[in-house]
Amino acid sequence: MVKRGAGVGKQTLTRGLESATLPCMNDLAGKHIVLGLTGGIACYKAAELCRALVKAGAQVQVVMTEAAAQFITPVTMQALSGRPVYTSQWDGREANNMAHINLSREADAILIAPASADFMAKLLHGRADELLSLMCLARPLASVPLLLAPAMNREMWSHPATQRNVAQLQTDGAHVLDVGQGEQACGETGDGRMLEASEILEDLLAFFTPKVLSGQQVMITAGPTYEAIDPVRGITNLSSGKMGFALARAAQQAGARVTLVAGPVNLPTPRGVLRMDVRSAIQMHAAVQAHVGQAQVFIAAAAVADWRPLTQADQKIKKDGSGDTPALSFVENPDILWTVAQSERAQKGHLFCVGFAAESHDLLAHATAKRVRKGVPLLVGNIGPSTFGQDDNTLLLVDAQGAWELPRDSKTKLAQTLIAEIAKRQQAPGRVS
């Protein structure tokens, strides 16, 4: 969905459906996932999903229905999972011949992808005439969650019977993921496609993430700003936006409703995040002011230009061979973080503000001074030249009690740690919630 933002220049709002970054290796370390396949052309996506789960550190046990084996072979899934595939309740490999008990007891979750309309109807009525449905019925409800990724024709998906089944399955405790929209194998277009593997993986990661920001609204700025000199030139910086996007992803997975105000970067929107694209510092300032009023947490991770040209030429400024250079005058951009931190809501403790400082030297001294100058409870510092565009980083956290370092790690992992730290501080006793 794309909307024109009101009163914020040329910003656009989009709801993210894709992951901004690939999950870190070992995001699912120690998790045992039963991946169930039912009949449907979307089984081809299950191969990519299985591979992604393994790359994320999970142990994957594939269980297939007879119908699923008509679309993709057990040999393929065994090669990708590195484990024998189960297809029958009569599988003789189990000493007690109770695969439906043994496999479900080992699982941290059962993920059915694709989940056909027929299989969901079967689950609703408690039918258990083959291994996969037996496992779903026999699983310990309190400790083995069931996640379903529906996949079917658009008419099947919208049919009242299917929608009733979905609603009842959710009431019974199953977690039914969204469906995708687009072209279908039958040639029709609409809702009902199974989500892409990356989207399902993001939803699974979010499912396992502690909801430390549940019910909170979080606004994050990310990336650089671009201050135009003329129609083809401008002033910007090397910020890639990766840290801000990783924070948006981590906050969303922690249960927050996230608004991401992004400068000009080439990154996909984190799944489930509302994104607002802006270009200049003035536009970013306007976007933040227009939407920060409902937030409980504001994270200023963007590398905002300190100055902008006083005037912007209507046409490209050309050299004339004289050796003279154009005279450029600059004006200071608005201080987005300071403005938000000085707002009534922030001063009363209703809005927890976090700043970022990208420095070139003397990080501790500059970050400490900036925290006081901006009036924020937490300032996150890094050395810009060593982190811009990189997938990993080292962070320095500075507050009123002192400073400590988060050692070098992926920006995804650092974002998860930082979000947990923010949640702990934001919900600390004595703060106004």
- Looking only at the bridges linking them, the beta strands covering 352-359 and 378-383 are parallel
Quickly tell me which residue has 């990080």 as its tokens. Answer: 363
CB atoms inside a 10 Å sphere around CB 7: 9
Q: How far apart are CA 215 and CA 300, in angstroms?
A: 20
The catalytically annotated residue of 24, 50, 186, 353 is: 186
Contact 245, 270 (CB under 8 A): yes
Q: How many alpha carbons fall within 13 Å on the CB side of residue 424?
A: 7
The answer to whether the Cα torsion of 364, 368, 371, 377 is positive or negative is: positive
- 3 state SS of 176: strand
186: annotated active-site residue: yes
- 3 state SS of 319: coil
The answer to whether the Cα torsion of 249, 237, 356, 294 is positive or negative is: negative
Q: How far apart are CA 343 and CA 351, in angstroms?
A: 9
From the list 331, 334, 348, the residue with the least C-alpha distance to 300 is: 334
**Which whole-number Å values give the CA distances from 164 to 113, 121, 160, 171, 205, in the listed order?**
20, 10, 6, 11, 27
Q: How far apart are CA 1 and CA 320, in angstroms?
A: 47
Q: How far apart are CA 158 and CA 149, in angstroms?
A: 15
Quickly tell me which residue has 């919208």 as its tokens. Answer: 158
- 3 state SS of 131: helix
For the annotated catalytic residues, the residue numbers are: 186
